[in-house]
A and B are shown apart, each in its own frame.
Chain A
Amino acid sequence: MTLHLYAVTAGSAGPPQVTGIAGGAVRSVAIGDVSAVVGDVGEGPAAPTEAAVLEHARVVEELMGTSDALLPARFGHGFADEGELAGAIAARERELAAALQQVRSCVELGLRVVRRDVAAGPASDGSGTDYMRRRLGSVREAEATANEVHDALAASARASRRQVLATPKLLLTGAYLVPKQDVDSFREGVDDVEQRHPELSFVCTGPWPPYSFATVDTDASDA
């Protein structure tokens, strides 16, 4: 029997009232100051099929209803037994405690910002230097815009993550940790920023359980 991990919660949670992947039972295991919410998934790790991923997400979503501080787990290989699980949790005790404290009472809001028109310069015109200057100008401008948008929104979030220019058109991918009661005003903030940038398209999704704040991401995070 493999134990599939759904989430880690602060303190001892009551028995989760939800079934898991492939209808398996979901239970809460107290380990030190936290609880690990796990499910039995049979032999070997649960395969990340679309159905399983959606079920995993559903379980995590349900847990958000009863836990104020919850760290969603990534869909992973699972654990052979509770001993292995307890060991893994003990090894990350401090990070888990810090992360749980940070996400308490918060949800995650996701943001994608796309540039409508990306100046596709004439590839073969001009010298190598012209090309580099154009590209540098374009990247600088894109990064400045992405930073402006992100900073405006990060200011009203407890924490944030960002990735700039994953593709030439995908200007910004952001995740914002926001107290539950502030979701509406955050959305208004997105609206405001969008008004200032008619050349960009914004899609804001959520509220999500705080997946992006369950790990410490040193490169892309802001305090």
Chain B
Amino acid sequence: MPDDDKLLHATGDIEAVARELERVGTAFPRRVNADPERVEQGLAQLVLTLVELLRQLMERQALRRMDQGSLTEDEIERLGETFMKLEQRMEELKREFGLEDKDLNLDLGPLGKLL
């Protein structure tokens, strides 16, 4: 265990920070659940992580283009509808497989800059 004298300043809500860092998964990442009896959930975790990753990437790209003014009104409307539906569907799927946000952590390592 490292000394926690590395904690220079934390007068705020350290719990909130710990929770977000867990989401980003920069500590030793949890293995995907490879228990044969729960392989289905493990696979769902894989697939949903990818879907969530793509959704976030695409949404960021779209927002950037919207910000630059290079999307038509029609495109904005259609993209918004699609992202809303995707978000809803993700929530349903997460519930179905008993997965939480932190199970779909998006630590991309060197590709982290994409987000």
Contact = CB atoms under 8 A, between A and B. Distances in A.
Contact of B112 (A116, A166, A190, A202): A166
| 6 shortest interchain CB distances as A-B pairs | A128-B80, A201-B12, A128-B81, A204-B9, A132-B80, A131-B80
Contacts of A77: none
Contacts of A127: 77, 80-81
Interface residues of A, number: 41
B76 to A, nearest CB: 5
A112 B80 contact: no
Interface string B31-73: 0000000000000000000000000000110110011000001
A131 B83 contact: yes
A166 B57 CA distance: 11
Contacts of B62: 132
A128 B112 contact: no
Nearest to B13: A201
A166 B113 CA distance: 8
Interface in B64-115: 66-67, 73, 76-84, 87-88, 91, 106, 112-113, 115
Interface string A31-75: 000000000000000000010001001000000000000000000
A124 interface: yes
A200 to B, nearest CB: 7
For A170, A187, A208, A220, the residue with the greatest tally of chain B CB atoms inside 10 Å of its CB is: A170
Given A54-B2, A194-B11, A203-B10, A132 B66 contact: yes
A155 B20 CA distance: 26
A128 B77 contact: yes
